[in-house]
Structure 1
Amino acid sequence: MTAKRSISVPDDVAEWLDGQPNVSAAITSAVRAQMAGARVDEVLRRAGIEVTEAGKARWRDRLAAPIPDEALAEGQRMLDEAA
């Protein structure tokens, strides 16, 4: 089942959507990603972990750091071993 909605978006988002072959699919994918993030936050809260915007920003900064070559090589070795 599907439902039709009318939304307003900023110009930059509208421009990006205009370039998508299927606007409904693009919006659905983005909203589902947002929903998944909210579910993760809820699971963490239920586990007693307080989720804050400052904490999310710290993790984003950590994850944005380049992965050391040694770690990449070890990860590849583990994948090769598992195959």
Structure 2
Amino acid sequence: MTAKRSISVPDDVARWLDGQPNVSAAITAAVRAQMAGTQLDEVLRRAGMEVTDAGKARWRDRLATPIPDEALTEGRRLLDEAA
């Protein structure tokens, strides 16, 4: 099932969306990425970790190399278990 929504976005976002072959798919992917990040934050909080924007920025700075596929797979498995 799908639901239709009307949204307002800043001009730069509108220009980017105008260049997408499927605006609905682009927005859906962006929102799902945001949802996954929120879910990860919740899993970390339940594990006793304090999640802050400053802490996230520090970790982003530390991750100079890509995360190995095995680690991403394990992280996704843990998120699925927690849901």
Q: Tell me the secondary structure at the aligned position of residue 7 of structure 1.
A: coil
2:58 equivalent in structure 1:
58
Alignment of 1:1-83 (within 5 A): 1-63=1-63, 65=64, 67=65
Percent identity among equivalent residues?
Answer: 86
Give the C-alpha shift of residue 62 in structure 1.
1.0
Aligned length: 66
Give the C-alpha shift of residue 35 in structure 1.
0.2
| 1:13-63: CA deviation from partner (whole Å, max 9, x where unpaired) | 000000000000000000000000000000000000000011001011111
What's the Cα RMSD here?
1.1
Greater relative contact order (Cα 8 A, min sep 6): structure 1 or 2? 2
TM-score by length of 1: 0.76
Long gaps (5+) in structure 2: 69-83
TM-score by length of 2: 0.76
Determine which structure has more spread, i.e. the larger CA radius of gyration: 1
Runs of 4+ in 1 over 3 A off after TM superposition: none
Long gaps (5+) in structure 1: 68-74, 76-83
1:70 equivalent in structure 2:
none
